[in-house]
Amino acid sequence: MQLPPPSLSFMRFVRFASYVAARLKRAKEHAWAAEAGKAADDVKAVGRAVEDRGLEVIPALADRDGIDDDLDDLADGVRRALASTSNTAHPEAPYTQILPNGIAWVTEAPLDEEEARYGDFAARLDDYLEPADPTRAVAGPVRENLTL
């Protein structure tokens, strides 16, 4: 009988240990069978606990992704508001000052750069929008939602 490789899932080890326990029981090696059965039960309990702990992260990931979607929608709303000020707004300030790398640079940021890119975007909104600019009403929630 060959031991399973360490890369297998915990349930494969549980099945293996259960099989060994049954074979030992059949061979009337009851003490060894009990040890193998206990090992199977222990591995199963720990493996399931690890899997359950992994499930606890899922709601947080969903919240993070939802916040990202909300920020992307807000950023695109700001982009549209900036672009709608004139027919030539796209290649002019404040559009080019706020979005020098384009909207995709903000909305398609890798996870490890999202907070920094949205922080830069929010700072640019503060720096380059006039206090009375109506785009500020669209842009306001960006900073409020910047909690990635």
**90 vs 48: which has the higher pLDDT:** 48
CA 128-133-136 angle, 5° bins:
80
What confidence tens digit (pLDDT) does each residue in 85-135 have?
Answer: 999 998 999 999 999 999 999 999 999 999 999 999 999 999 999 989 999
The pLDDT assigned to 141 comes to 75
The pLDDT assigned to 146 comes to 66
pTM beyond 0.85: the answer is: no
